Structure 1
Amino acid sequence: MTSQVVLNGLPVGNKDAYEYFRKENKEPLRKEVHAAFDRLSSRYNPIVMEGAGSIAELNLRDSDIVNMSMARYAGAAVILVADIDRGGVFASAYGSIMLQTEEDRRYIKGIIVNKFRGDEKLFEKGRRQMEEICGVPVIGVVPYLDDIHIEEEDSVSLMKKSSVHTEENMINVAVLALPHISNFTDFDTISRDPRVHLYFTDDPSELGKGDVIILPGSKNTIGDLRAMREKGCDDAIIAAAARGCSVMGICGGYQMMGREISDPDGVEGEVAAAEGLCLLPTSTVLRGNKTIRRVEFTVKDCEVTGSGYEIHMGETEVPADASPLVVKSDGTCDGCIAGDRVMGSYIHGILDNQEVTDRLLAPHARAKGLPLKSETEPYRSYKERQYDALSARLRECLDIELLYKIMREDD
């Protein structure tokens, strides 16, 4: 019921749902959104804007800043995307259009029917009926594309992931399922490694069966640390590390692995400090300013280079006699490593660098007789190939000329 509001990449405070959606609280944000659009429109054409949720939430219309309100400001051509997989697609599309004011309704120029299963010819009659009742053309029908893999938008998708280890001869990589998990796409690359079985869990017994345990980023580090302890996951992780399991923390997970996290300014709430897992000799102080930057780095003690990004609240102190995990291109160090198997870093995307992943998995690959090097396609080229495949399929499914015509008329 509470979210951190991030404006132009920087946090501006926490809001509960009621406070955030009040009309008067949205006006300053509306001005910022309009200013952002004006900056972009002075440099680019066309501009694609993505709405959020439904365009027909009547109770939220006055406070809307991302759907029809924004379309009205921009004079945008609106394409309504209707999810047929949920059922009720005719009622959804018709209701969404008819519940608009007469002014807003004229911005809606077409409909795309998404996630269609089966033979599209069976929907030809439905397509004509939808156009008749809605008064706008159906630009295309997009099938349910389960062979194209694009990064998920939010953590709801984690409910579909595996939550248990495997008995097959694979490296079990357990990601701790935190209540406020963030940046879960950090694990997309390692999950595609044929040597790896990756699963998300907050069950202490399942965590203990992982060869590798990863503590992910968190939107509320102290709160998630408390939740971890309530379930007994802290003891399971410490015991696993003691018997030779590899443990890695990323961002908030890295902070949890240290000796203490303090929050003197109440950045995350009322808890002033919390003891960490003491797996690393570090300590963290949470601050109001958020660090946001792309980074390039060299893995400590070798010539391997990589890249990623930082986005975190807090500063972590690493003792002078401790070993950093990587050295960034500006000469500063990041992270900490204790022995060969316990490590942490602030860098999101660090596991997209195959050499880092190979180093993390090496002792377990060796023990199981698996290859020490992954044959997984580099993440950047894999991701580009997925977007290219999606683009090609959409060109087959949509009336592209009609879409271009709508865009030209809007100009």
Structure 2
Amino acid sequence: MHSPLRPIMLAGTGSDVGKSVIAAALCRIFLQDGYHPAPFKAQNMALNSFVTADGLELGRAQAVQAEAAGVPCHTDMNPLLLKPSGDSTSQVVLHGRPTGNQHASAYFRREGRAELEREVHAAFDRLAARYNPIVMEGAGSISELNLRDVDLVNLPMARYADASVLLVADIDRGGVFASVYGSIMLQTPEDRQRIRGVLINKFRGDMSLFGSGRRMIEELCGVPVVGVVPHFTDIYIEEEDSVTLRTKQREAVEGRINVAVVLLRHMSNFTDFDVLERDERVHLFYTNNTEELCKADIILLPGSKNTLDDLSDLRRNGAAGAIQRAYRDGAVVMGICGGYQMMGREVCDPDHVEGDIERLPGLGLLPVTTRLTKEKTTRQVSFRMVNDPRMCRGYEIHMGETRLEAGASDVLPLTEGDGVDTGWRVGERCMGSYIHGILDNAPAIDCLLRPVIGRIDTRRTFDYAAFKEEQYDRLADHVRRHVDMAQIYGMMKKR
């Protein structure tokens, strides 16, 4: 039995510096070393979310970190989730349940902040009573001075948890000396003392050339550099933010099944398609270009935080017509969640759940209609693809009810299980489902690829669960090689 360790917080010099991935690595390392770790992020802002076994919602990054730690995910790991629905408005999800939409100016006011603070503190306390150690993650930059008084997730949370803070900086974006020095020196003296180490992330090139840089940072800041982690491209960890999707826009290629994911402004849960990136039969790319959509063998419509707004965009930019033409020309089209809603005859929003648009015609590929609802459905599901006995698992997160039109012909259920219909299909090339994670299951991949598999020669099976476990171990090995874990354990010892 290991003695209790002090929590460790991965704080950042900015957004997208790699805090989430380093936190996942530490979760796996602590698990390998015989501890019982768990992740924690008091407040997260992301469209990519996950559903717990009891049907509650949390940020996808914490679900990934829990998987790396070998424990079931729980909303205490991310008690407060903000899901942007516009440039300055977000749905607020507290302990896994939506409490309404708030404008940024209302959410970040001081009034009512103490109540939210009590909620995230209580979640941390419950988690800390069950796990050792807690791997905490901050949000964005720790030096947003204008938000210091209402900060729930960075140094104020570290103070409450009595956590040692590891400052993560992304050297790839440049300005690493200024960002590290500024992030530390802008803290109060008390918080500055809590920052026990610096981790330089995403390093490219000859590591020996940065030796003097490490010493300069230590001399300037009075804080040890515990490691310099090289950038990697051969370890695959599910990402939470969609900032990297633009770099995945690639043209169709010969010799593989070309799968185009339609790039939406409000895309959510794009990790639904990660498994296809690892399948050697498939070439996956993200696009809303009409010519590229028409070249695809399979078109996937992803989830959306604002279905009607994204559907309006698709109709305006010509992508809706391109998808319809591609289907007529032999492409497979599949929609998931909001994408499933778009594939129907019509999407209606009489209660203005999403905004001012009350109704729009859909793509008309499935004989279903959707009415958006104020109540959110969040649940894990066990199911089977129709005519396939293998059990599958996934989860639902949606605000809407989709109904089959009366008298619809040539339409069959896509899935069966849990006593409800979770999707429909017309023939083999047109299908939609509310189930996120559906493609993580081999039977669903078989169903998706079956109409076009004859276009290539390669056939293989792919175990995505085993693949992810291998990636967590590889990530842990990578971080162990480049980070002084003895030093990290030292800063986590309780005195």
Which bracket does the TM-score occupy, shorter chain normalised? over 0.9
Residue 363 of structure 1 aligns with an amino acid whose one-letter code is: P
Instruction: Specify every segment of 5 or more residues in structure 2 that has no aligned partner in the other structure, as ranges.
Output: 1-86
Aligned counterpart, 1:401: 486
Quote the Cα distance in structure 1 between the aligned partners of 2:395 and 2:293. Answer: 27
The SS at the match of 1:189 is helix
Aligned counterpart, 1:345: 433
Residue 401 of structure 1 aligns with an amino acid whose one-letter code is: A
- Pair 1:313-2:402 in alignment: no
- Pair 1:383-2:472 in alignment: no
Quote the Cα distance in structure 2 between the aligned partners of 1:260 and 1:87. Answer: 48
Superposition deviation, residue 345 in structure 1: 0.4
- Pair 1:165-2:252 in alignment: yes
- Pair 1:176-2:262 in alignment: yes
Aligned with 1:11 (options 98, 102, 107): 98
Any conservation in 2 of the 1:164–1:200 contact (CA below 8 Å)?
no
Q: How does 1:254-293 map to 2 (within 5 A)?
A: 254-293=340-379
Any conservation in 1 of the 2:388–2:443 contact (CA below 8 Å)?
no
Choose between structure 1 and 2 for higher RCO, CA contacts under 8 A separated by at least 6 residues.
2
Aligned counterpart, 1:325: 414
Superposition deviation, residue 343 in structure 1: 0.4
Aligned counterpart, 2:225: 138
Superposition deviation, residue 191 in structure 1: 2.0
Which range moved further: 180-189 or 330-339? 330-339
Quote the Cα distance in structure 2 between the aligned partners of 1:45 and 1:402. Answer: 18
Cα deviation, 1:115-174, whole Å, max 9, x if unaligned, reads: 1222322222222221122112211111112221211221111011024222x1221111
Any conservation in 1 of the 2:383–2:392 contact (CA below 8 Å)?
yes
The SS at the match of 1:186 is helix
The SS at the match of 1:292 is strand
The SS at the match of 2:394 is strand
Cα deviation, 1:170-219, whole Å, max 9, x if unaligned, reads: 21111111111111111111122222121111112221111111111001
Aligned counterpart, 1:230: 316
The SS at the match of 2:295 is coil
Quote the Cα distance in structure 1 between the aligned partners of 2:316 and 2:90. Answer: 23
Aligned with 2:450 (options 362, 378, 398): 362
Instruction: Specify every segment of 5 or more residues in structure 1 that has no aligned partner in the other structure, as ranges.
Output: none
Aligned with 2:297 (options 179, 198, 211): 211
Quote the Cα distance in structure 2 between the aligned partners of 1:383 and 1:305. Answer: 19
Aligned counterpart, 1:129: 216
Any conservation in 1 of the 2:333–2:430 contact (CA below 8 Å)?
yes
Cα deviation, 1:221-273, whole Å, max 9, x if unaligned, reads: 01111111001111111222222211100000001111121222221112222
Any conservation in 2 of the 1:354–1:374 contact (CA below 8 Å)?
no
Quote the Cα distance in structure 1 between the aligned partners of 2:115 and 2:369. Answer: 37
Residue 139 of structure 2 aligns with an amino acid whose one-letter code is: A
Superposition deviation, residue 25 in structure 1: 5.3
Residue 479 of structure 2 aligns with an amino acid whose one-letter code is: L
Residue 222 of structure 2 aligns with an amino acid whose one-letter code is: G
The SS at the match of 1:24 is coil
Any conservation in 1 of the 2:257–2:456 contact (CA below 8 Å)?
no
Aligned counterpart, 2:25: none
1:211/1:175 CA distance change after superposition, 3 Å: same
Which range moved further: 195-204 or 333-342? 195-204
TM-score using structure 2 length: 0.79
Quote the Cα distance in structure 2 between the aligned partners of 1:147 and 1:172. Answer: 22
Q: How does 1:12-31 map to 2 (within 5 A)?
A: 12-24=99-111, 26-31=113-118
The SS at the match of 1:234 is helix
Superposition deviation, residue 401 in structure 1: 1.3
- Pair 1:303-2:392 in alignment: no
Any conservation in 1 of the 2:428–2:451 contact (CA below 8 Å)?
no
The SS at the match of 1:106 is helix
Quote the Cα distance in structure 2 between the aligned partners of 1:338 and 1:27. Answer: 52
Superposition deviation, residue 319 in structure 1: 4.6
Quote the Cα distance in structure 2 between the aligned partners of 1:144 and 1:302. Answer: 41
Quote the Cα distance in structure 1 between the aligned partners of 2:251 and 2:265. Answer: 18
Superposition deviation, residue 331 in structure 1: 2.9
Superposition deviation, residue 23 in structure 1: 2.9
Say how many residue pairs are matched. 405
- Identical counterparts, % of pairs: 57
Question: Computing the radius of gyration over CA atoms, which structure comes out larger, 1 or 2?
Answer: 1
The SS at the match of 1:363 is coil
1:13/1:408 CA distance change after superposition, 3 Å: same
- Pair 1:70-2:160 in alignment: no
TM-score using structure 1 length: 0.94
Any conservation in 2 of the 1:173–1:210 contact (CA below 8 Å)?
yes
